[in-house]
Chain A
Amino acid sequence: MQLEFSPEEIAFQQEVRTFIAENYPENLRSVQDEGHDLSKEDFLSWHRILAKKGWIAPAWPVEYGGTGWTATQRFIWSEELAAADCVGTMPFGLSMVGPVIYTFGTPEQKAQFLPGILSGDDWWCQGYSEPGAGSDLASLRTKAVRDGDHYVVNGQKTWTTMAQYADWGFFLVRTDSDAKAQEGISFLLINMKTPGVTVRPIITLGGEHEVNEVWLEDVRVPVANRIYEENKGWTCAKFLLAHERTGIAAVARSKRGVEKIKSIARTEQDGDRPLIANPFFKRKISELEIDLTALEFTELRSLAGEAAGKGPGPESSLLKIKGSEIQQRITELALEAVGHYGAPYFRGFGEGDNEHPIGPDYAHRAAPTYFNTRKTTIYGGSNEIQRNIIAKMVLGI
């Protein structure tokens, strides 16, 4: 066992740190600092810079556009991104459908779809959940009926994140209604501009338009857009869920979050002392920080296991559960820390509105972020479902 970077890794760290400092878009930084919602262009501006550099998909195999970095280098990269408070890249293409396509897709499918994911030219969304299929995802009812070399798709998806921007979506659809739940599902790539696709916004508690309903009415999808075999889509879905769970611990970002809480708590006054001197608040910070350290070292142990040849296994559910809880606690403490100024409802600057919003900058998004972050223990397989997975797959009960 050992605990240090090699000289090469330290040089690498310096290299990526310098790259971020020199290339991160200035205007994006100010949008973030003032607490605005990010637009599609905001996300894409950083994505395109990374794509140009060749660093957009460090986790992918080199042959498909990965960086060839070691696990340690990838770890350094994510730490540096978080330390510099960079916006994340959208996961739907890079972390979700991309790995499914290069793992299960045909050479034609790889050639057609992977370049657009890397460049950012194609924005992807995920068509999994349905109004009647949440935790019980396999009960989904959106139907795809074969008609020559097309499927005709009918049904409704929901919680489709950022579908309002999407060029493409990956969908789980039922292609055999008589088979057992998991066995009649196929994995389809659908162009969101196809006639019959309708995207309707769902506004969440912070006022954000982040998720949508997607209605599919007689949508014609080429059979060539099906990944893997017909009725074997559940295999892709499970693979994707496991992929989604790794990195879901969000350790580096949460570390940054804890630092922000500390800085707020040193600024906010609690009577005649800074809030951080309040022993009750201080204890909440230390508990959070220590729990985050436990998560970090659990993730490192898990990465070491992966490096030794064990893939991301069901124990990654542990990382999802603890990681999501910690993300929520960070937002909870931020809201608690800002006191009165959690209340003013800030929705960004209107057209021509230059007035500074009410309260300190760090307070603007405290409540909306707290509300929004309740999602982390629900999405990606709720934390209760994750416990079921551990019980079954790890404990064998």
Chain B
Amino acid sequence: MRNVDIKMLKQVQHDGPLDRIIIMDFSYTETQDMIRETLSRFLADTYDFDSRNKMIASGSGRDAGIWKALAQDLGMLGASFSEAHGGLGGGHLENALIMEELGKVIAIEPYLQTVVLGGGALKAVGGAIADAVIPEIIGGNVIIAFAYAEPQGRYNLANIRTTAKKDGAGYVLNGHKGVVYAAPWATHLLVTARTGGSGSEANGVSLFLIDANTAGIVRRDYPTVDGFQASEVYFENVAIPGDALLGDEGAGLPLIERIVDEATVSVCAEACGVTAKLHSGTLEYARQRNQFGQPISRFQVLQHRMVDMFMEVEQSKSMTTMATLKLDLPAAERMAAVSACKAKVSRAAKFVGQSAIQTHGGIGITQELAIGHFFKRATMIESQFGSADHHYARFERLTLAD
């Protein structure tokens, strides 16, 4: 695969991060097109609405065979890793297009957590741990869950009470992480914890990758409203080795912010798939639903709503492309771009989701049609890694000083 080379952008005019860039090449490589087509075909065969319902209703809440097939039959889990690690040599664009396809079937695969977040952190730190774990991710043998949120922390990544106290060569973890998606399935946990400092201080935040079965980890597992499995995770004097630390002790926040930005754009890409389906599903329904002696798609008020949905979907795609291409810029510009993207996509997800249900009428509120399940995932995406309000505020802090 051709590596997509996104170098430092040149200052073209003015100040302000969003003025910096011009894109003139929006084309995908042949390999990227092939990844999309292969994945799309596979998901069409495996992820129809009934199959998805069966997976969710099963004991583990998933079909582990699909993850294996994605890894071993399709090579999909290696798309965004380097060839040196056994991957296809891609990066952010590959993650985005895979997430968009997963969104089109509201897949419940732990790609975001394992590849984007776990893989992203490992790529960033490199070294022995990356060499050891990345090939296992690509092979489908490792599933990572990201234990970062805490009940009091809301969307502030530095607001952490979980502690990692130095103990000989290793650390001892104590604390509570909330709503850890994919934790019941995970072989590893990617954990944020304080090795120093307090409150929301930037200093003293560290990132660890630990074995999910380490003694002292207590989980309370539950299903989420959008079809995943998650856990409340409690660390009770969990002894972890020193080499579980990713990056430097106490200086992990920039790394965490970076992988969360990458994950934020990934859920935006997923949202593009989810909202595209909400829109096309609504169009299809409006064409076949008859009232007043004609298909309701003939009513102009509904046509204009569906056009508004279309425009939101298209703008979500534009923003996701913009942010994906800016993920390797210096932190302040990356963050402004990601927040602009998420703010816009969060609102689009709400509008498109609500409009889809309204256009369907009563049947939209039932579990019987897929549309409602797309709506539920869209709704969770709205606030995942920060609500629209959170991201507008971050964008303003970065770009609209007094």
Chain A positions near chain B (C-beta within 8 angstroms): 1-5, 10, 13, 71-72, 75-76, 79-80, 83, 255, 259, 262, 266, 273-274, 276-277, 282-283, 285-287, 289-291, 293-298, 300-301, 303-304, 307-308, 315, 318, 321-322, 384, 387-388, 390-391, 394-397
Contacts and interface: CB of A to CB of B under 8 A. Distances in A.
Contacts of A297: 23, 318-319, 321-322
Given A1-B23, A307-B24, 13 more contacts: A1-B4, A1-B26, A1-B27, A2-B5, A2-B325, A3-B9, A3-B22, A3-B23, A4-B10, A72-B24, A290-B344, A315-B314, A397-B283
Given A2-B325, A297-B319, A390-B307, A397 B286 contact: yes
B22 A322 contact: no
B22 A72 contact: yes
A174 to B, nearest CB: 27
Interface in B296-348: 297-298, 300, 303-304, 306-308, 310-311, 314-315, 317-319, 321-322, 325-326, 340, 343-344
Contacts of B307: 387, 390-391, 394-395
* 7 nearest A-B pairs in the assembled complex, by CB-CB distance: A297-B318, A304-B26, A391-B303, A294-B315, A397-B297, A298-B318, A387-B307
Interface residues of B, number: 52
Nearest to B392: A286
Contacts of A3: 6, 9, 21-23, 325-326
Given A2-B4, A5-B22, A388 B318 contact: no
A286 B391 CA distance: 10
B402 A276 contact: yes
A294 B23 contact: no
Interface in B1-49: 4-7, 9-10, 12-14, 16, 18-19, 21-28
A14 B253 CA distance: 39
B9 A4 contact: yes
Contacts of A294: 315, 318-319, 344
Contact of B325 (A1, A273, A289, A293): A1
Contacts of A273: 402
A270 to B, nearest CB: 11
B4 A291 contact: no
Contacts of A298: 314-315, 318
Contacts of B286: 397
Most chain-B CB neighbours within 10 Å: which of A10, A76, A259, A391?
A: A391
B193 to A, nearest CB: 33
B322 A274 contact: no
Contacts of B5: 2
Given A297-B319, A388-B303, A282 B22 contact: no
7 contacts: A2-B5, A75-B24, A283-B396, A289-B340, A294-B319, A388-B303, A397-B303
A300 B18 CA distance: 14
A300 B23 contact: yes
Nearest to A275: B402
B400 interface: yes
Nearest to A294: B315
Nearest to B345: A294
B189 interface: no
B6 A318 contact: no
B320 to A, nearest CB: 9
B36 to A, nearest CB: 13
B165 to A, nearest CB: 39
A301 B318 contact: yes
Contacts of A303: 24
Contact of A1 (B12, B14, B321): B321
B399 A384 contact: no
Nearest to B320: A297
B74 to A, nearest CB: 22
Contacts of A5: 10, 12, 22
Contact of A387 (B19, B21, B303): B303
Nearest to A256: B14
A123 to B, nearest CB: 32
Contacts of A285: 400
Nearest to B279: A395
A289 B399 contact: yes
Nearest to B4: A1
B24 A282 contact: no
Contacts of A290: 340, 343-344, 392, 395
A301 B317 contact: yes
Task: Indicate the member of A274, A276, A295, A300 with the most B CB atoms within 10 Å.
Answer: A300
A3 B334 CA distance: 14
B154 interface: no
A300 B319 CA distance: 11
B371 interface: no
B297 to A, nearest CB: 4
B289 interface: no
B287 interface: yes
Contacts of B396: 282-283, 286
